[in-house]
Amino acid sequence: MFLKFAFIERLYERTKALARHKHAVRALIIVAFFESFIFPVPTGILLIALVQANRERAWRLASLAAIASVCGAVIGYLIGWFAFDTIGMPVLKALGMADKMQSFQHMADEYGALAVFGAGLTPFPFKVITLLSGALKLNFIVFIIASILARFGQFFLIAAIVWKFGPDAEMLIKRHFAKVSIGLFLVVALVWAVWHFGFGS
């Protein structure tokens, strides 16, 4: 367990260091793409560092990260659909995320696309969402729409915090991002519930 934690910490620091590379934007796109189905460190780490370095490009960087993440989500979904037992499950086990499967499966059974949106907006591992969405055969179009809304929502929220608070943003995000994103999801869920039960019936 300690070795796994140490590996993640080293990878975390190396991901942050990519922000100082001349190809940092390209690295952001690659990290966002692969984080959707295999990479263990969240894209937000690199996005924070890049936006801090150039706050005028905050929204462009957030958009690139979101687009790449959704493209990666398609790969994760297809792996889950066609090769969950041979590829998807071993990946989750190798990353120590197999225990997250049951909680997302319960959410998906209960709420469908809303579970994809909610989990994708919060710090819940996105690769668990994409792989299991395919394995559970969730509607692909609905999955993509939920993923787009979730990833643009999360990355634009991160970019907005960094744009507003600058050097203090990383600490604020570490302390409060989960609460803010979960709160935002609850607001959306409440609006959906009122619409669905109040006007959709």
Q: What is the DSSP letter of 139?
A: -
Cβ(28)–Cβ(61) below 8 Å: yes
Taking the model in full, what pTM does it have? 0.78
Q: Which residues contact 86 (CB under 8 A, 6 or more apart)?
A: none
**pLDDT tens readout for residues 6-63:** 444 565 566 666 666 678 889 899 999 999 998 877 788 888 888 888 888 999 999 9
Contact 42, 123 (CB under 8 A): yes
| Model pLDDT for residues 102-150, shown as the tens digit of each residue | 778 877 777 777 778 777 777 778 898 899 999 989 899 989 998 998 8
Helices 169-198 + 140-165 axis angle, to 10: 140
Q: Tens of pLDDT along 80-115?
A: 999 999 999 998 888 788 777 877 887 777 777 777
Q: Which residue has the tokens 């019936």?
A: 201
CA proximity to 165, closest of 60, 64, 48? 48
Domain that holds residue 15: 2-198
Measured distance CA(3)–CA(18) in Å, rounded: 23
Provide the 10 A C-beta neighbour count for residue 98.
Answer: 14
Domains held by the chain: number: 1
C-alpha span between 119 and 191 (Å, rounded): 17
